[in-house]
Amino acid sequence: MSSAVFEMTVPVLPGDIDEQNHVNNTVYLRWVQDVAVAHWRAIGSPEAQEAIGWVVLRHEIDYKKPATLADKIALRTWVGKATRLTFERFTEIRRKRDRQLLSQARTLWCPIDTQTGRPVRVSAGVRAQFST
């Protein structure tokens, strides 16, 4: 199962810049989180969003090129393998003006019950919302 690509654009803000005068690696991680949440909110039904929360089990991030203060950033994400208890999510971070790949990530997410905070099985219907 693989989902359609979801994309959003973010600016590089002054607070994103570190001592090397480029975007700090922790900002890339924040962007991975931000685009995943935006994708869930764009596709998940109101009922699913009320019942299901998400926690990260694992992040893998490869940094390719730096981003700088003048850049606009395209965040692209999609779901890979989705089981009842885990969703594999891929993210690409690209400079908007030239589509240069800056970073790529693979994240393993676990759905949780928003009331109890415990892992919850995701229905086939929710999994199908993310499949192509």
Tens of pLDDT along 67-121? 999 999 999 999 999 888 999 999 999 999 999 999 999 999 999 999 999 999 9
Report the C-alpha gap between 14 and 72 in whole angstroms. 12
What confidence score (pLDDT) does residue 129 get?
A: 80
Q: Which amino acid is at 100?
A: Q
Which segments of the chain does DSSP mark as H helices, in order?
25-43, 46-51, 124-129
| Inter-residue contact 35 to 76 (CB < 8 Å) | yes
What confidence score (pLDDT) does residue 84 get?
A: 82
Q: Is the pTM of this model over 0.75?
A: yes
Q: Which domains are present in the chain?
A: 6-129 (3.10.129.10)
Q: Of the candidates 111, 50, 109, which has an alpha carbon nearest to the alpha carbon of residue 79?
A: 109
Q: Tokens 């995943």 identify what position?
A: 36
Using DSSP, state whether 67 is helix, strand or coil.
Answer: coil
